[in-house]
Amino acid sequence: MSSLHTYLAGDIGGTKSWMALVSVSPDGEWCIEYSHKYPNAEFQNVQQLIEACLNDAGTDASQIAGLSLAAAGPVTNGYCMMTNLDWEIDTAQIKNHFDFCHVTLINDFHAVAQGVTLVEDEELLALNQVVPGSNGLKVVTGAGTGLGLAWLQQGNAHATEGSHTGFAPADEEQNRLLQQLCSGKPSVSWEELLSGMGLQRLYYFVSGGKRLPAAEITTAAEQGDESATAAVALFWRIFANWAGNLALFYRPAGGIYLTGGVTNRLLPMLDRDEFISAYCDKGGMRSLVETTAVFVVTDEQIGLLGAIAQIRDGIEGLEI
């Protein structure tokens, strides 16, 4: 009889989800046997997504020792109402539905923070020349359907909802943007700008009122369209402003790590010098930010790796 145990892991995003079948040996060695990215629009709930993954992987629930999920939304006592997707995830319901022995649920950026410890060096793109401390606090933030934020210290990840705090402009252009967006509403969050929908808002602003989906804005920018290029450049300046604030909030000796689908989709259009200039533009605290390493994580499965880390670290201790 095999000593391997088979687990299911998933990173449930606002638009798409990564699912994986993972084998784990008694000494903690793990191997991804199957993984696939699923469009959430094809399913009505997470149970249907899990069933599809089991079918596609050629297995069934009776063969699964446990489930580890990361979800894009605040998690409390094994429950998550997702922020940008009309799904409720309840570990008790999932456990009963599939008769899994163990189920755990964490916030997606809790998982991303854990995943940072597993990514290969070649999946990290350094944006400045600072060498991070190996044991220092790390901050991860990422733009996708929404904007996530978490931090990691001594192997312990902590999710936050800091992306819903109020946007603070860094220059006159960003002041005008804020004034436009605040028309008819009291405040604007960072997530409303640093996300797929955020890119659409930035394009609307720089183009004088034109509307395009985020994917079309990106394609237009790649083709040299003036308004689309300006929107992407503004996105990166605002992202740099946000990252610089995080350097001051957390003073992360281990560095700041930028992730997310939108982040990586726009990466080919990143002007590193302009980004670092905006990142360090913090007045009297400039020297502190200048000494904080900042990276882009290019591995789009980093959240899935974090969910797997829950298994690696002993999912039995996290059962409901």
Question: Which stretches does DSSP call E strand in the chain?
Answer: 5-12, 16-24, 30-39, 66-71, 75-76, 79-81, 88-90, 103-107, 124-126, 138-143, 147-153, 156-160, 255-259, 294-297
The whole-angstrom separation of Cα 129 and Cα 290 is: 9
Q: Are residues 310 and 293 in the same domain?
A: no
Q: Are residues 263 and 314 in the same domain?
A: no
pLDDT grade for 310, boundaries at 50, 70 and 90 = confident
pLDDT of residue 185: 84
Q: Would 115 be classed as within a structural domain?
A: no
pLDDT grade for 29, boundaries at 50, 70 and 90 = confident
Domain with 277 in it: what CATH number?
A: 3.40.367.20
Q: Would 113 be classed as within a structural domain?
A: no
Q: Are residues 66 and 202 in the same domain?
A: no
Q: Are residues 137 and 102 in the same domain?
A: no
Q: Are residues 169 and 265 in the same domain?
A: yes
pLDDT of residue 319: 35
Edge-to-edge, what's the strand order for the sheet holding 75-76?
A: 75-76, 79-81, 88-90
Q: Are residues 164 and 272 in the same domain?
A: yes
pLDDT, tens digit (0-9, with 9 covering 90-100), for 62-80: 999 999 999 999 999 999 9
Number of domains in the chain: 2
Q: Would 68 be classed as within a structural domain?
A: yes
Question: Which stretches does DSSP call E strand in 25-134?
Answer: 30-39, 66-71, 75-76, 79-81, 88-90, 103-107, 124-126
pLDDT of residue 270: 98
Q: Are residues 208 and 83 in the same domain?
A: no
pLDDT of residue 211: 97
Residue 21 structural domain: 5-107+302-318
Number of residues in the chain:
320
Torsion angle of C-alpha atoms 237, 243, 248, 254, degrees rounded to 10: -140
> What does the pLDDT average to over 98-126?
94
3 state DSSP class of 20: strand
The proportion of the chain whose per-residue pLDDT surpasses 90, expressed as a percent, equals 87
In the predicted model, is pLDDT for residue 100 greater than 90?
Answer: yes
Q: Are residues 86 and 235 in the same domain?
A: no
pLDDT, tens digit (0-9, with 9 covering 90-100), for 168-201: 999 999 999 999 999 878 899 999 999 999 999 9
pLDDT grade for 1, boundaries at 50, 70 and 90 = very low
pLDDT of residue 320: 30
pLDDT grade for 25, boundaries at 50, 70 and 90 = confident
pLDDT, tens digit (0-9, with 9 covering 90-100), for 34-59: 999 999 999 999 999 999 999 999 99
Q: Are residues 156 and 274 in the same domain?
A: yes
Q: Are residues 248 and 135 in the same domain?
A: yes
β-sheet bridge partners, residue 16:
39
CB distance 43 to 4 below 8 Å:
no
Q: Would 225 be classed as within a structural domain?
A: yes
Q: Would 101 be classed as within a structural domain?
A: yes
The whole-angstrom separation of Cα 259 and Cα 299 is: 8
3 state DSSP class of 4: coil
pLDDT grade for 316, boundaries at 50, 70 and 90 = very low
Q: Would 112 be classed as within a structural domain?
A: no
Q: Among candidates 163, 139, 134, which has minimal Cα distance to 150?
A: 139
Domain with 28 in it: what CATH number?
A: 3.30.420.40
User: What pTM did the predictor assign?
Assistant: 0.91
Count of helix runs (H) and strand runs (E) in the chain: 11, 14
pLDDT of residue 49: 98
Q: Are residues 274 and 130 in the same domain?
A: yes
The proportion of the chain whose per-residue pLDDT surpasses 70, expressed as a percent, equals 97
3 state DSSP class of 36: strand
pLDDT of residue 317: 40
Average pLDDT, the chain: 94
Distance of CA 127 to the CA centre of its chain: 18
Q: Would 272 be classed as within a structural domain?
A: yes
Q: Are residues 99 and 130 in the same domain?
A: no
Structure tokens at 276: 């670092």
